[in-house]
Amino acid sequence: MVKHQSQRNIARAMVALWGQVVDAYPEDAYAAAAMLIYRHVHDEPWGNQEKLTLWFQALGGDTYFTDGGINWTAVVNYLITDVACDTCPIGQLPRHPLRSDLSQGQGGPLGMPCRVGQEAPSASLTELGRSGQASRCIHGLAPNDGFDVRVPWDWGQHPGVVSEGGDYRAKSYDDLLAAWQAQAAQELAEDEAVAEADGQSDDEPSGDGPPAEAPAPTTKGQTQSETGGTT
């Protein structure tokens, strides 16, 4: 069972990796599988970071496991090839980034490059670094995937959003687009309200002008008519 699209894509990657290793090094593949089963880390590793790391450490070699961690750029580019930015429905949303957006501000293969203004060039394996850009991301949908996209919590009341499994989700592209448009309209209204408030504060007098002149004190030589009193 997978809870969201990124887990589905990680499961895809692990199936593809297993196939590569079995084809190239069958004895090593089955030895690694026996070790993973013995350590009880074979069950749904896509949902557990420790299990996932051990899988890629055992099977990933220098390509998919480098510097003590999973090389997600290589994983995303070469093990989930069913997914592509050009065909992913998330990539069809208007590119204008929102303050509260699907990416939560994260780009790269573990974020959403299309939602943070990043290009997604294809790259050769030798050009890939652990933090490099990707032509797809771990959240992307393949053409035959059921549509199920998690959205931020503050989108929860927008049209097209449903609550399911402790998250807010859109179940179709039309629903996702409607929710995006509602969030964009909300943020625009907030910006206009701030601009209007700033304009009003600029128009108000500041109270910092020069003080009024104080009346000059009377002198000893002034007459009664000048001072309105006696000397």
pLDDT one-digit tens code per residue, 67-107? 999 999 999 999 999 999 889 999 999 989 999 999 988 88
Residue 126 scores a pLDDT above 70: no
Domain boundaries, the chain: 5-146, 147-197
Half-sphere exposure of 147 (CA within 13 A, CB side): 15
The reported pTM is: 0.75
pLDDT band of 203, cuts 50, 70, 90: low
At 131, is the pLDDT very low, low, confident or very high (cuts 50, 70, 90)?
very low
Residue matched to tokens 């290793």: 21
The pLDDT of residue 165: 84
According to DSSP, residue 43 is labeled: S
Measured at the CA of 129, the angle between CA 126 and CA 134, to 5 degrees, comes to 90
Residue 120 has pLDDT above 70, yes or no: no
Dump strand ranges (E) for the chain: 65-66, 69-70, 149-151, 161-164, 167-170
Reduce the secondary structure of 71-110 to three states and give it as a string.
CHHHHHHHHCCCCCCCCCHHHHCCCCCCCCCCCCCCCCCC
CA 172 from chain center: how many Å? 20
Q: What is the pLDDT of residue 108?
A: 84
**Phi and psi at residue 212, in whole multiples of 5°?**
-65, 150
pLDDT in the model for residue 56: 95
Q: Using one digit for the tens of pLDDT, what is the confidence trace for 48-69? A: 899 999 999 999 999 999 999 9
Q: What is the pLDDT of residue 125?
A: 40
